[in-house]
Amino acid sequence: MSSTELLPLLRELLSRNPEYRYHQAWELQWLLYSLNYTDDLAPEEEIAAALEVALEDFSEAEAEKKKAEKEPATPEEINRALRVVDIAQQGVALAFGCVKQAELGLLRLGDTVPLDAKLALVSFGDDLGELLERFDQEVRGAVFAGTPPLEDLEDLEEAS
């Protein structure tokens, strides 16, 4: 088995089990075989070559992730996220309205509907109501988490 054939297998193994990134090629040889990634023991040299490439890929991906975490969101990204939040809030509000309408319908039906069904619907409605009340401070707050202060955003908008 060549290193080009081993590379995707190693990438999968290392992405599922990051602790194996620090193993030697001879350890991975047995690991690949025992986890049925290979039918027999792959050559240690081929594993070492594939491992070197796979580890470079992972370190580049981790560096990109850290860079993205450090960079503040742009005003366009924040506006896009807030539009998505608005759409989600409208969906929750619509669901809340539907549940309240269903509650009224159940009240009109009286004793023909089991009590546990009524209680479940009322409980669900209460949960949606609480979610709707907390939406602004929690969900919108999450959008702004890690972004620069509002004054900085205004400065960015003026500059662009």
Q: What is the pLDDT of residue 160?
A: 45
> Which residue is listed with tokens 């409208």?
90
Average pLDDT over residues 106-133: 80
Q: What is the pLDDT of residue 137?
A: 66
Name the residue ranges covered by the structural domains of the chain: 3-70, 75-159
Q: Do 93 and 132 form a contact (C-beta atoms < 8 A)?
A: yes
Is the model's pLDDT at 93 over the cut of 70?
yes
Q: Do 147 and 78 form a contact (C-beta atoms < 8 A)?
A: yes
Tokens of 45: 């040299």
pTM: 0.41
